[in-house]
Amino acid sequence: MSSAPDLPALRAHFQSGATRPYRTRRDALKALKRALKKHEEALLSAMHADMRKPRFEAYMADIGLVHAEIDHALANLRDWMRPDGVPTPLVLWPAGSSIHPQPLGVVLIIAPWNYPALLVLSPLVGAIAAGNCAVVKPSEETPHTAAVLEKLIAEAFAREQVLVVQGPGADVIPPMMEGFRFDHVFFTGSPAVGRKILAMAAPQLVPVTLELGGKSPAIVDRSANVDTAAKRIAWSKFFNAGQTCIASDYALVHADVMDAFLAAMAKHTTAFFGTDPQRSPHFARMVNDKHFQRVKRYLAEGKVLFGGQADAAGGYIAPTVLTDLPMESLVMQEEIFGPVLPVISWKEPEEVLSIAARNPTPLALCVFARSRSVQRFFTEHIAFGGGCINHCLLHFGNLQLPLGGVGTSGMGRYHGKRSFEVFSHIQGMVTASRLLPEPGVHYPPYSTWKEKVLRWVMG
């Protein structure tokens, strides 16, 4: 944007109470849905222009999920807004207790580039459902999509309710956060930038939700259906050219099934993208040269089982599997965020725990095993945000499940009702009776008799 955003206008609009009524929130969500439908083709074209995102993947993982989020909010909004009565202890009698979700005010949503529509609009659905005004910052690394989003949002909302801010994050975010107190900041991106956001929010004690990344393993036990495991890992890893925060960053495969797994990975990758994935319309590209060069350097580490080709002119890195990797290699220390899958063998479960523990906290964990005890062992001994048993990525698509990290992979949860709650102040209230007299034990002067009553009531 060429001029500073008018943040006080959003604050004034919120304080007017205009965003609080159920009908206003419902109508705003419906307007967003209409605008999303209207600009659907433009968004699909923009995401293809930004990163060659296949049309199917762009609809499935960006647009379709936003429609689902809006529909879910519309179906449940009245219930979410309704005060919830809770029991009142005897010591507070005669009174009633209830929980009231209140909108926070003006919130800031900072989105990344890998799912440039979803990760702008999905949290925005929660913010609007909760009755807030919002400032939205799309990623400058997907400029075509950011431009369409600005048009879409301007059509759905008045500028004093939702405002889009464009430009490099390092230029536009610090001045906003220093000069205006947001009521919540919702950031999706890397841990490194997340730390900076948290530091900027700290002086004004602004609460922050951080949806970050990590080093997320797929664990394949010898009891697994190896062919199915390979198919599902290949799909999830090479979806969006690996640029997915909950994709499997590396695979830990039991030594007894390693050869079968590697053969199945090659078979299914060819089935998905052909013998020359560069010619496939179903395979995305690295978003820009910076990320291309970052991922390309991993190709020189370990042994390339298949793939390994790279073309800077098109931002193309082939779906690649690496083996024979030392633990100190960069590809086994950094979040890859590209179509490169290191595969490590193991024999004892403790080896898996040791490898997972030396890496950043996983945002997701996938365990492939028929054995329930093996499933429980890994899900109970590894800290992770969320995940799947015998599949990958699917937990993102269930709006009944919370999405969020733990440790260095993030803080806070969203999706479905959690999106409404993360942008709400959950306010507890006690309402004293106007009709029944209170016992008055808690008023001075105190006495031995009052203390006995107090101890009996409070246990």
Q: What is the pLDDT of residues 183-242, one digit of tens each?
A: 999 999 999 999 999 999 999 999 999 999 999 999 999 999 999 999 999 999 999 999
Q: What is the pLDDT of residues 185-197, one digit of tens each?
A: 999 999 999 999 9
Output the pLDDT for position 309. 98
Output the pLDDT for position 4. 73
CATH superfamily of 7-212+410-426: Aldehyde Dehydrogenase; Chain A, domain 1 (3.40.605.10)
Query: What ranges in 281-399 are assigned the alpha helix state H?
Result: 289-296, 349-357, 372-381
Q: What is the pLDDT of residues 240-286, one digit of tens each?
A: 999 999 999 999 999 999 999 999 999 999 999 999 999 999 999 99
CA-CA distance, 248 to 454, in Å (whole number)? Answer: 57
Judge contact between 118 and 26, C-beta under 8 A: no
CA-CA distance, 199 to 262, in Å (whole number)? Answer: 43
Q: What is the pLDDT of residues 391-435, one digit of tens each?
A: 999 999 999 999 999 999 999 999 999 999 999 999 999 999 988
Spans of all domains in the chain: 7-212+410-426, 217-404
Residues 6+ apart with CB under 8 A from 63: 36, 40, 43, 44, 117, 118
Q: What is the pTM of this model?
A: 0.95
CA-CA distance, 321 to 266, in Å (whole number)? Answer: 8
Output the pLDDT for position 435. 86
Residue 357 backbone phi and psi in degrees, to 5: -70, -25
Q: What is the pLDDT of residues 361-390, one digit of tens each?
A: 999 999 999 999 999 999 999 999 999 999
| Phi-psi sector, 378: left (phi>0), alpha (psi -120 to 50), beta | alpha
Q: What is the pLDDT of residues 146-179, one digit of tens each?
A: 999 999 999 999 999 999 999 999 999 999 999 9
The CATH number of the domain covering residues in 217-404: 3.40.309.10
End-to-end CA distance of the chain: 61
Q: Are strands 340-346 and 250-254 parallel, antiparallel or unpaired?
A: parallel
Output the pLDDT for position 3. 60
Residue 244 CA: distances (Å) to CA of 16, 83, 160, 443: 40, 37, 33, 60
Mean per-residue pLDDT over the chain, rounded = 96
pLDDT of 1 strictly over 50 = no
What average pLDDT does this structure show over 312-324?
97
Would you name the residues annotated as active-site residues?
A: 211, 245
Buried b (16+ CB within 10 A) or exposed e, 314-333: ebbbbbbbbbebeeebebbe
Q: What is the pLDDT of residues 33-68, one digit of tens each?
A: 999 999 999 999 999 999 999 999 999 999 999 999
Q: What is the pLDDT of residues 327-351, one digit of tens each?
A: 999 999 999 999 999 999 999 999 9
